[in-house]
Chain A
Amino acid sequence: MNTAKNLLLSLALLPLATVAQERYMTRTGHVAFHSETPIENIHADNRKVSSVWDVTTGAVEFAVLIKAFEFEKALMQEHFNENYMESNTFPKATFKGKVTGISAEQVKKVGTYDVIVEGELTMHGVARPMKGKGSVVVDAAGLVKAGSEFTVKPEDHGIAIPGVVRKNIAEQIQVIVRMDYQKM
């Protein structure tokens, strides 16, 4: 069963009869992570993130394929998938939470809004609470661009970093989220 699809569709396809709910969606969201140490910098991008945001309730969900993260160097990508994320066993990461600080009415108005994103991030099979600041930019064309940055500690998700490379990988990995939502 595709739990990531179910997760997203459960939000996307909720009956519209109850309240005039407004939902926004992207299938090409961008999530990047960045690790910076004196020894080396590691960066990866995934531009195939699916997300649904119900601006009426604030509920938001993301699903990410771990193997869709692209690295500059093949060796980093192989270690990421095989040694750390174990992506054959845990092929997806998901986030389920809520965006606060912006109303459904504001999403229709041009402006930049500071928001808080709070919820549960499941990665490497381990769910942990996550809270971060973000922003939503609504432009004159009605495009809704949402972004957030937060940090993740690999050990919090049961990801063991061998001592021999511990100094190559930051204690706190920076995660950058950029979503260009379209109204459903």
Chain B
Amino acid sequence: MTKKTLIIVSALTVTGVGASIAMSEYSRKPETALEKTEVASITATDLLAAFVADEQAANAKYVGQQEQAIRVTGTIRSVGPESGGLVNVVLETNDAMAGIVCEFAKADVPASWKPGDQVTLKGICTGYLIDVILNRCGSVE
């Protein structure tokens, strides 16, 4: 192999690897909560209370600057129905008007889950409207 050929092959290899990395990064799917290390573990009741008491502080801790997962334990208030391939599992709080709304891909909701069950899950906390919202949730059992 001549020196010129070696340079061309090397350049093509570097370009190919670079393009592959760029394409991989461009196509990267958002991680589910189960793929992330949780930054906090809290009960559903305490999570709502934290947002009610000081939304800004709760946003800083549970939503974070970068997307992050939290572990939440609570009692199921309702499951479903499915919409757009997603299912909402709502956890009880001390406020009948507000809950922790946990969005699951339909396939990720344990079939046995029903209202009244005590469960632990991980979700990506996106903030607080009337409820506290967790996206891309997964069961931790």
Q: Identify the A interface with B (CB < 8 A).
A: 1-2, 4-5, 8-9, 27-28, 30, 45, 47-48, 50, 63-65, 67-68, 70-75, 77-78, 81, 88, 91-92
Contacts and interface: CB of A to CB of B under 8 A. Distances in A.
B59 A91 contact: yes
B130 A27 contact: yes
Contacts, number: 78
Interface in B43-75: 51-52, 55, 59, 63, 65, 67
Given A65-B126, A72-B29, A92-B127, 12 more contacts: A2-B128, A5-B128, A5-B129, A27-B129, A28-B101, A50-B129, A50-B130, A50-B131, A70-B136, A73-B27, A75-B26, A92-B129
B127 A68 contact: yes
A48 B133 contact: yes
21 contacts: A5-B129, A5-B130, A8-B129, A27-B130, A30-B84, A48-B126, A48-B129, A48-B133, A50-B129, A63-B129, A67-B63, A68-B133, A72-B29, A73-B27, A73-B28, A73-B29, A75-B25, A75-B26, A77-B30, A77-B67, A78-B67
Contacts of B130: 5, 8-9, 27, 50
Contacts of A28: 83, 88, 101
A178 to B, nearest CB: 10
Interface residues of B, number: 29
The B contact surface, by secondary structure, is mixed
B34 interface: no
Contacts of A45: 84
Nearest to B60: A88
